[in-house]
Amino acid sequence: MPLVTGVDSSTQSCKVVVRDAETGALVRQGRAPHPDGTEVDPRAWWDALLAAVDAAGGLADVAAVSVAGQQHGMVCLDEAGEVVRPALLWNDTRSADAARDLVEEAGGDGTGRRFWAGATGSVPVASFTATKLRWLARHEPANADRVAAVCLPHDWLTWRLAGAPGLAALRTDRGDASGTGYWSPATGEYRLDLLERAFGRRLRVPAMLGPAEPAGVLDPEVLGGTGPTGVLLGPGTGDNAAAALGVGAGPGDVVVSIGTSGTVFAVADTPAADETGAVAGFADATGRYLPLVCTLNAARVLDAAASLLRVGLDELAELALAAPAGADGLVMVPYLEGERTPNRPLATGSVHGLTLHNATAGHLARAAVEGMLCALADGLDALIAQGARADRVVLVGGGARSAAVRRIAPQVFGCPVVVPPPGEYVADGAARQAAWIALGGAAPPEWPFAETREYAADPVPAVRARYAEARDRTLDRAGG
Burial 388-418 (b: 16+ CB within 10 A, else e): bebebbbbbbbbbbbebbbbbbbbbbbbebb
Task: With beta carbons less than 8 A apart as the criterion, state whether 56 and 28 touch.
Answer: yes
DSSP H or E segment with residue 367: helix 361-385
Kindly state the DSSP code that residue 128 receives in the 8-state scheme. Answer: S
First-to-final CA distance of the chain? 59
Rounded-to-integer distance, Cα 58 and Cα 251, Å? 35
Residue 248 CA, distance from chain mean position: 16
Assess contact for 357 and 321: CB atoms under 8 A.
Answer: no
> Is 71 assigned to a binding site?
yes
Three-class DSSP category at 444: coil
Q: CA angle at residue 449 from 51 to 454, to 5 degrees?
A: 130
> Residue 57 half-sphere exposure, CB side, CA atoms within 13 Å?
12
DSSP 207-233: EEE-TT---EE--GGGGTT-S-SS-EE
Residue 239 among the catalytic residues: yes
d(CA 320, CA 361): 8
Q: How far is Cα 8 from Cα 16, in angstroms, rounded to an integer? A: 6
Cα separation, 390 vs 414, whole angstroms: 9
User: Strand 13-20 and strand 26-33: pairing?
Assistant: antiparallel
One of 219, 239, 253, 428 is an active-site residue; which one? 239
Pairing of strands 183-184, 189-190: antiparallel
Element (H, E) at 151: strand 149-151
Which residues are CB-neighbours of 410 under 8 A, at least 6 positions away?
Answer: 393, 416, 417, 455, 456, 457, 459
The answer to whether 200 touches 112, Cβ cutoff 8 Å, is: no
Strand partners, 183: 190
Query: Which stretch of DSSP H or E encloses residue 197?
Result: helix 192-199
d(CA 74, CA 81): 14
Active site residues: 239
- Binding site residues for substrate, as ranges? 71-72
- Binding site residues, as ranges? 71-72
